[in-house]
Amino acid sequence: MAVGALIGAYQEDDSGGLRALLPLAGRTLLEYQVRCAAAAGAAPVLVVVERVPQALQDAFERLRLDGVAVFPVSDIEEALTRFEAGSMILVIGDGVAPSADLVASIAEEPEPAVATVPDDDAHAAFERIDGESRWAGVALVDAHLLGSTAAMLGDWDLQSTLLRRTLQEGARRVALPEGSGPPLLVENADQLGDFQRSLLVASRGARSDWASRFLLPPLEDFATERLMDTELRPSWLIWAALLLTFIAAVCFSEGWLGAGLAALVLSTPLDLVASRLAAIRLRPLPTRMLSRQALWPASGIALLALGLWEARHGTGWGALVTAGAAVAFAEAARIEKGPGSADGEIWLLSRRNAIFAAVPFALAGAWTSYLLALLVYAVASFFVVQHVRHWDYG
């Protein structure tokens, strides 16, 4: 069944502006709400507004540029014309910052449902349902109920009236899903600070190599926190990592070995930060993103450039053969491992592991020894993956 979304954006905050326009992760609270609804599969997403200031218009434009079908409406009659007959409508309360998991779980309900939080001091700002629970700010209602509510609304608040009628119709009450963070009802910008930090923490994904698990987290956290409030697009960071990798290849070919390694080290956290920014903004990067897929072969080119330089100015053709063999075994291990994870995966050869493994050799000036060590690392990783994939599970 089709699911649309209806979000309120007409209540004022403590300073007299719209709650919907309070800043969150470099965007606005409304944009976060709309992206939560869109990520849950809701379309179209309608925003009930009494007036559209320029800041709100700018938010709508940013959402549309990202391909989110969002439309402002000034009254319920206009909203009804945009929803399909018989559809379900995901309602998100004005000024409510829910977790994406909560929105997704309610959107998946087969029947009308109302998310609830306990009636306690921690949730005193939320609308009371009964003596035991309050509305968590997210609900799923029938489109026909929206129409009949519009006919009787008068001067009553739309969301409160719709909530009451949904409960009277027997909607199921749903507690917060396990692991989902509590929603926040926002009245001023300061209240969004802790929620924004929770988004930052939640954006940390599993780390599949020792470099990203043990060396990069402090830098990654720092960069993500500084960039989440900017207009920077995550894809730009991926392209920057790719550019730095090609710069490293040029540096290696010219004999600027330290500069080449520095460029590679600088590139290592960029794709991780990009993924986290995309997750915070609820716009995950495409799995088959061209620039991200190109990082691996570009790193191979950089390694071959290093081997060529060493072959011409150091230990002869053996350095280039060693680099080529390391690239071949690394690619074979990657193909054998496939998209899944393998036991002890963090210790296997990866782009980041190979880059940071070069640092002690570079400090010692032993670049050919690094190529030999990397070949051994790649061969060992290949046979470990072979063992896991074929001996243990074959």
Same domain? For 48 and 138 the reply is: yes
Which CATH number does the domain housing residue 257 bear?
1.20.120.1760
Share of the chain above pLDDT 90, in %: 69
CB-CB neighbours of 346 under 10 Å: 17
Same domain? For 307 and 364 the reply is: yes
Q: Is the pLDDT of residue 309 over 50?
A: yes
Single residue among 134, 163, 195 that ends a domain in this structure: 195
In a domain? residue 201: no
Q: Is the pLDDT of residue 150 over 90?
A: no
**Which two structure tokens, joined as six digits, stand for 88?**
């379900």
The band of 393, judged by pLDDT with boundaries at 50, 70 and 90, is: very low
Residue 341, pLDDT score: 65
Element (H, E) at 175: strand 172-175
Same domain? For 255 and 386 the reply is: yes
Domains contained in the chain, number: 2
Average pLDDT over the chain reads 91
Could you tell me the residue range of the domain that residue 181 belongs to?
3-195
Q: Is the pLDDT of residue 43 over 60?
A: yes
Residue 275, pLDDT score: 95
Same domain? For 132 and 241 the reply is: no
- In the chain, the amino acid numbered 78 is E
Same domain? For 25 and 47 the reply is: yes
Q: pLDDT for 359-387, tens place per residue?
A: 999 999 999 999 999 999 999 999 999 88
Tokens 């309610």 label which residue? 106
Which CATH number does the domain housing residue 59 bear?
3.90.550.10
State how far the Cα of 350 lies from the Cα of 330, in Å rounded to an integer: 8
Same domain? For 108 and 252 the reply is: no
Same domain? For 189 and 213 the reply is: no
Q: What is the pTM of this model?
A: 0.86
Q: Is the pLDDT of residue 391 over 70?
A: no
Same domain? For 114 and 257 the reply is: no
Same domain? For 212 and 361 the reply is: yes
- In the chain, the amino acid numbered 60 is F
Q: Is the pLDDT of residue 42 over 60?
A: yes
Single residue among 166, 195, 224 that ends a domain in this structure: 195
Single residue among 150, 175, 195 that ends a domain in this structure: 195
CA angle, residues 95, 171, 100, in degrees to nearest 5: 40
Q: Is the pLDDT of residue 340 over 70?
A: no
Q: Is the pLDDT of residue 291 over 50?
A: yes
Strand partners, 89: 4, 141
In a domain? residue 281: yes
In a domain? residue 200: no
Query: Among 175-184, 215-224, 276-285, whose mean pLDDT is lowest?
Result: 175-184
Mean pLDDT on 38-51: 93
In a domain? residue 105: yes
Q: How far is CA 102 from the centre of its chain?
A: 16
**Which two structure tokens, joined as six digits, stand for 218?**
């402090």
Q: pLDDT for 93-122, tens place per residue?
A: 999 999 999 999 999 999 999 999 999 998
Same domain? For 229 and 123 the reply is: no
The band of 39, judged by pLDDT with boundaries at 50, 70 and 90, is: very high
Same domain? For 79 and 148 the reply is: yes
Same domain? For 105 and 220 the reply is: no
The SS3 assignment for 281 reads coil
In a domain? residue 202: no
In a domain? residue 113: yes
In a domain? residue 278: yes
